[in-house]
Amino acid sequence: MLFGKKKRLIERLLIVEDEPLVAFDTEHFLTGEGFTIVATVDSVADGLAAVDEAEEIDLVLVDVSLADGSGVEVAEAAHARGIQVLFVTGNFPEEARRLAAGCLAKPYPHRDLLAAILAIEAVIEGNTPKKLPGSFSLFGA
């Protein structure tokens, strides 16, 4: 494909984040990078509903500490549907490792978020990611 853009395997994202500024900033940045945001929600209940109702989600970005419970519940639901999960949290529970493709520790710069998503995509394609951000843990690569 000469001068063309490679088709992304991860295009449609669900953001589950209860800090409004972080949620807005993440949504704005990722939209600018060409991703489609299926929904941005701030609770476990809304995250579960979005996972259950959305026609297609490629990746769920989920914080662990949400006002109404644990984002691990959302990760379990996404994992059960075969949807990739990226935890974005400062408080990652090791027992949730089996549910996710990776974890990006807060706070993180935009470039690390993008690099984490691209690393997960590389693994899906069967490739080894080149360089991972220091704040990112890739599981099962």
Domain housing 99: 12-138
Task: Classify residue 5: in a domain, yes or no.
Answer: no
Task: Classify residue 110: in a domain, yes or no.
Answer: yes
CATH number, domain with residue 109: 3.40.50.2300
> Which pLDDT value is given to residue 1?
47
Contact 116, 86 (CB under 8 A): yes
Task: Please name the amino acid found at residue 140.
Answer: G
Task: Classify residue 34: in a domain, yes or no.
Answer: yes
Closest CA to 88 of 112, 68, 69, 67: 112
Contact 102, 91 (CB under 8 A): no
Cis bond upstream, residue 107 (ω within 30): yes
Task: Classify residue 7: in a domain, yes or no.
Answer: no
From the CB of residue 130, how many other CB atoms can be counted at a distance below 10 Å?
9
Give the tens place of pLDDT for each residue, 5-48.
667 889 999 999 999 999 999 999 999 999 999 999 999 999 99
> Which pLDDT value is given to residue 85?
97
Task: Classify residue 36: in a domain, yes or no.
Answer: yes
Number of domains in the chain: 1
